[in-house]
Amino acid sequence: MGRLFAALYETVSKGSEAAGIRERRRQLLAAAEGSTLEIGAGTGLNLAHYPQAVTQLVLTEPDRHMRRRLQQRLDALGREAEIVEASAEGLPFPDATFDTAVATYVLCSVADQDAALREIARVLKLSGRLLFLEHVRSEEPKLARRQDRVRPLYNLFGCNPNRDTLARIHASPLTVESVEHGEVPKAPKVERPLIVGAARR
């Protein structure tokens, strides 16, 4: 994804984080427990929100520029976690390793959503949970068409704003337990449709 995206990511998302996404992250991650895996952890915007109930934290991230920033944030927070270079489509962990998996703003970026969701399900223990927060395809056809049109531009930053991620989670081995539809505040219209929820293995 590159040095520039890693450098600009927090500046670009600052407005929406302050206007509500930071609080959404906190509420979502309050349900994390036990051995926890975060997929595509980026610069580590979730790190401050993991509760005491998380006993082990593993952060995967394929991009080296992101990993460098992730390590810096871990050091600044004095938080224990292992950073692993990996893509969600090929997680280097045995079956049934984790109690919780976390994906925030990452299923828009993975190359293959179905493969990533299969891998997440594989590494979750039976009745383990995926916690997700993702910007997704609009249910309004006009906005969805606009998302299709801008996708090539967003692809330059590794993002697909037009994905029906909830449909892919439903089609995966996971069972959706809860989902809330909302909006990413202070974001371009094509990035606003939001889903936040949990799915069980």
Ligand X SMILES: C[S@@+](CC[C@H](N)C(=O)[O-])C[C@H]1O[C@@H](n2cnc3c(N)ncnc32)[C@H](O)[C@@H]1O
Binding residues for ligand X, per CB under 6 A?
Answer: 1, 39-42, 45-46, 61-63, 66, 87-89, 104-106, 109-111, 158
Rg, Å, the chain Cα set? 16
Rounded Cα gap, residues 118 and 161, in angstroms: 21
Main-chain phi, psi angles of 9, to 5 degrees? -55, -50
Instruction: For the chain, give percent helix, strand, coil, nearest 5.
Output: 40, 25, 35
| Dist CA 20 CA 125 (whole Å) | 31
Nearer to ligand X, 20 or 127 (CB): 20
Q: Where are the alpha helices (DSSP H) in the chain?
A: 3-16, 22-29, 64-77, 113-123, 141-155, 165-171
As a residue count, the chain comes to 201
| Of 107 and 166, CB closest to ligand X | 107
In the complex, minimum distance from the CB of residue 108 to ligand X, in angstroms, rounded to a whole number: 7
Token pair of 123, please? 């590494």
| Residue 131: CB minimum distance to ligand X, A | 11
Q: Which is nearer to ligand X, 57 or 66 (CB)?
A: 66
Taking the complex as a whole, the smallest distance from the CB of residue 6 to ligand X amounts, in Å, to 7
The minimum distance between CB 138 and ligand X, in angstroms, equals 18
Of 135 and 141, CB closest to ligand X? 135
Nearer to ligand X (CB atom), residue 36 or residue 104: 104
Residue 88 CB, nearest approach to ligand X (Å): 4
Which residue of this chain has its Cβ atom nearest to ligand X in the complex? 42
